């Protein structure tokens, strides 16, 4: 990946957010319309931003294509970074690092901790052997896997909140750069009711036990109050996916209803506008200290 002179690396951006007790927003995309919408709001607010593509999302958009989108804006000076979100295989980790991603998340949450550790370690070794500074995130505790509107909490999700001592051992033994803990958060968001409360005390305990920045996944559906408190307690990156998916789809439906034009840019742009409102509110919230 090409770097514009003077541009901060993702590692520097996150270290700065941790220091200032704010968070970097991480938003997932499936296509370039969503990418443009997120990038535009980040430019307007003059904040760095992270783009995430999970295995399904990057299969759709293309691994190289996702890198090219980010690279195009980096070349003109925007602090925008790319994460290979929820990657379950080492082959997937290697592919993303080779393609030029800034970050990879090895998701071993469906493994036992003792199986998660060697794989996360392998991801770290591959990242360190690359010629670039690639961040490796590890994850502890199952929080569900679907970024969808849910009628109930997925079975088993959020039950095994991350133990601060296990977190410390996990970070120490794997050498990961960031940790995604299970602290009452779930992927997806509940229909009509708020998500369960985030366990702020647990975040504080984990951030005291480990020195690496913490990442809050599945923050769609959580109250602004909870997310702000989570950031003050030690969260440095916040992931939002479901809420922007809902806004994008709703906007496209409205765009299709409004006219029977077949030009995709006409109805997709209505989806982008609705998405931008969500992204703007989230980025403003994450940038506030206290």
- Shortest spacing between CB 45 and Zn ion, in angstroms: 23
CA separation, residue 227 to residues 22, 81, 212, 216, 232 (Å): 11, 22, 19, 9, 9
- Shortest spacing between CB 217 and Zn ion, in angstroms: 3
- How many residues touch Zn ion under the rule CB under 5 A: the total is 1
Closest to Zn ion by CB, 74 vs 217, is 217
Closest to Zn ion by CB, 74 vs 86, is 86
Could you tell me which of 142, 149, 143 has the C-alpha nearest to residue 221?
149
Site string for Zn ion, 214-243 (x = CB under 5 A): ---x--------------------------
Closest to Zn ion by CB, 181 vs 251, is 181
Q: Which of residues 198-217 bind Zn ion (CB under 5 A)?
A: 217
Q: Could you give the count of Cα atoms lying within 13 Å of 36 in the half-sphere of its Cβ?
A: 10
Closest to Zn ion by CB, 217 vs 245, is 217
Please give the span between the terminal C-alpha atoms of the chain, in angstroms, as a whole number.
Answer: 35
Q: Which residue is nearest to Zn ion (CB)?
A: 217
Q: Which of residues 261-280 bind Zn ion (CB under 5 A)?
A: none
- Shortest spacing between CB 179 and Zn ion, in angstroms: 13
- Shortest spacing between CB 239 and Zn ion, in angstroms: 5
The answer to the question of residue 74 lying near Zn ion (CB under 5 A) is no
- Shortest spacing between CB 192 and Zn ion, in angstroms: 22
Site string for Zn ion, 161-200 (x = CB under 5 A): ----------------------------------------
**Interatomic CA distance for residues 139 and 95, integer angstroms:** 19
Q: Provide the annotated active-site residues.
A: 85
**Interatomic CA distance for residues 107 and 182, integer angstroms:** 12
Closest to Zn ion by CB, 119 vs 217, is 217
* Polymer length in residues for the chain: 290
Q: What residues line the site for Zn ion (CB under 5 A)? A: 217
């Amino acid at each position: 990946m090409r770097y514009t002179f003077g541009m901060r690396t993702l590692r520097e951006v996150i270290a700065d957010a941790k220091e200032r007790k704010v968070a970097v927003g991480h938003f997932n995309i499936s296509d370039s319309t969503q990418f443009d919408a997120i990038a535009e709001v980040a430019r307007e607010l003059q904040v760095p931003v992270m783009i995430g593509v999970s295995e399904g999302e990057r299969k759709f958009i293309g691994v190289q294509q996702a890198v090219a989108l980010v690279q195009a804006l980096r070349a003109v000076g925007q602090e925008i970074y790319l994460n290979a979100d929820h990657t379950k295989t080492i082959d997937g980790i290697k592919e993303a690092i080779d393609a030029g991603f800034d970050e990879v998340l090895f998701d071993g949450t469906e493994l036992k901790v003792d199986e998660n550790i060697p794989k996360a370690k392998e991801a770290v070794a591959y990242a360190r052997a690359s010629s670039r500074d690639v961040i490796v995130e590890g994850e502890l505790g199952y929080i569900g896997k679907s970024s969808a509107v849910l009628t109930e909490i997925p079975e088993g999700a959020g039950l095994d909140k991350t133990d601060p001592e296990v977190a410390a051992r996990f970070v120490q033994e794997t050498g990961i750069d960031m940790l995604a803990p299970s602290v009452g958060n779930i992927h997806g968001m509940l229909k009509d009711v708020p998500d369960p409360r985030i366990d702020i005390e647990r975040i504080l305990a984990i951030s005291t036990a480990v020195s690496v920045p913490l990442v809050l996944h599945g923050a769609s559906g959580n109250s602004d109050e909870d997310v702000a408190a989570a950031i003050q307690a030690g969260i440095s990156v916040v992931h939002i996916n479901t809420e922007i998916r809902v806004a994008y789809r709703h906007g496209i439906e409205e765009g299709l209803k409004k006219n029977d034009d077949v030009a995709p840019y006409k109805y997709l742009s209505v989806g982008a506008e609705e998405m931008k409102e969500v992204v703007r509110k989230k980025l403003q919230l994450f940038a506030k200290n206290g």
